[in-house]
Structure 1
Amino acid sequence: MTTENERRHAIEQAIANTRIEGHEPTPEFMADMEAVAKGSMTTEQARAASLARALAADAAAVPPTSR
């Protein structure tokens, strides 16, 4: 089992890598990562939350089909 400090360090390293690649995490994602670090959310739950937000954003961006 990992400690909060170990989880937080791993998350900080992963986020630093994504920033190097030019991606800036959303506030919602960062809140999820904080919850993962604290142990109140699993990585699977965080992944599912991110996916749900992405799918909702994609659905909102698609114009309705003309009939």
Structure 2
Amino acid sequence: MLHSVFAAAAIQAAISERWYRENPWTWQQKHLAWFLEYKLKSSKKPTRYYYLLSAKLIARRLGKSWEL
């Protein structure tokens, strides 16, 4: 659970810095896809996997059916 909170905070910070979108309710699928593809490209597979799970949880909480 703690890892998910940390991952969500990291995702939010990166999206906020790149697109100036502070609130996840304003995010689009492209924002999470960008994070997963470009911000994690040099990360190891387990790290990418945990961030993918966190991104899917965020999308679910937002009520979106995004494919990530």
Category of TM-score, reference length = shorter chain: 0.3 to 0.5
Q: TM-score by structure 2 length?
A: 0.38
Q: Which has the larger radius of gyration?
A: 1
Ranked by relative contact order (alpha carbons within 8 Å, sequence separation 6 or more), the top structure is 2
